[in-house]
Amino acid sequence: MANNLLKGKRGIIFGALNEQSIAWKVAERAHEEGATFVLTNAPIAMRMGEINKLAEKTGSQIIAADATDVEDLEKLVAESMEILGGKLDFVLHSIGMSVNVRKGKHYTDENYAWTMKGFDVSALSFHKVLQTTKKLDAMNEWGSILALTYIAAQRVFPDYNDMADNKSYLESIARSFGYHYGEAKKVRVNTISQSPTMTTAGSGVKGFNEFLNFAESMSPLGNASALACADYCVSLFSDLTRYVTMQNLFHDGGFSNVGVTQAVIDKFSD
């Protein structure tokens, strides 16, 4: 259901790889709500070509950018303002990757070169995006910048590996940069902590299916879908949430505040 919540707003959406991607759903919902935006992803992700379908569907242009490369980001932000005809109102950072996770390296046996790579892609890139938009004075007042995160930043989920540390850092950037950006430019910065979701990044985590079912049974409302996450992103890009900043916002069906559920207790009864 569209309500024109983002009518006239311009943005950049990072991280739509395929139809499962959370960023893909955000792009579809933002389009329905009247926004115009540029789609971006790492040059290597372009090869799959899927993003062209999304660009066509949403009337968007695509600019390739490696989110760890400041020059790429400067070009992306400058060109986006030109294409869209003005400063930006929203940015979605929907990026995550751990080489240690991909290659099955245990948390207690990290390859630190891989750790640094994953940290740069998953966490520091958010700082780079924020710093670039601020230096180029690319955001309108009351603009909203969001990154996606996971509760492994607060609690241990053993197979989430070094991504847990990356997410902690990512959430800290939202607070620290959010302070400076708010004071200087009235720009909001938040992270959304999303339920486990079946996507390319999500399914890379060992035992993901079992984990998805566990989270489902530990959430009074059940796991939040990618589409529901997109709705939440739209609300945070809209003018209805203008005083929300520097927050980590759980979007998880209640999972984060549950100790145990009856469904889980029942599994342990004789």
Ligand X SMILES: NC(=O)c1ccc[n+]([C@@H]2O[C@H](COP(=O)([O-])OP(=O)(O)OC[C@H]3O[C@@H](n4cnc5c(N)ncnc54)[C@H](O)[C@@H]3O)[C@@H](O)[C@H]2O)c1
Q: What residues make contact with ligand X under the rule CB under 6 A? A: 14-15, 17, 21-23, 41-42, 45, 66-68, 94-97, 121, 148-150, 194, 196-197, 199-202
Which contacts of 121-124 are long-range, i.e. CB under 8 A and separated by 24 or more positions? 121/67, 121/68, 121/95, 121/96, 121/97, 122/95, 122/96, 122/97, 122/98, 122/163, 122/166, 122/167, 122/170, 123/166, 123/167, 123/169, 123/170, 123/173, 124/68, 124/169
Residue 8 DSSP symbol: T
Q: How far is the CB of 65 from ligand X (least distance, A)?
A: 7
Identify the CA nearest to 93 among candidates 138, 55, 116, 126: 126
Q: How far is the CB of 266 from ligand X (least distance, A)?
A: 25
Q: Which is nearer to ligand X, 171 or 184 (CB)?
A: 171
Q: Which is nearer to ligand X, 74 or 140 (CB)?
A: 74
Q: Which is nearer to ligand X, 186 or 227 (CB)?
A: 227
Q: How far is the CB of 159 from ligand X (least distance, A)?
A: 12
Q: Which is nearer to ligand X, 94 or 132 (CB)?
A: 94
Please tell me whether residue 89 adopts helix, strand or coil conformation. strand
What residue number has its CB nearest to ligand X? 202
Please tell me whether residue 134 adopts helix, strand or coil conformation. helix
Q: Which is nearer to ligand X, 67 or 84 (CB)?
A: 67
Q: How far is the CB of 30 from ligand X (least distance, A)?
A: 15
User: Which contiguous run of DSSP H or E holds residue 39?
Assistant: strand 36-41
Q: How far is the CB of 60 from ligand X (least distance, A)?
A: 15
Q: How far apart are CA 156 and CA 161, in angstroms?
A: 9
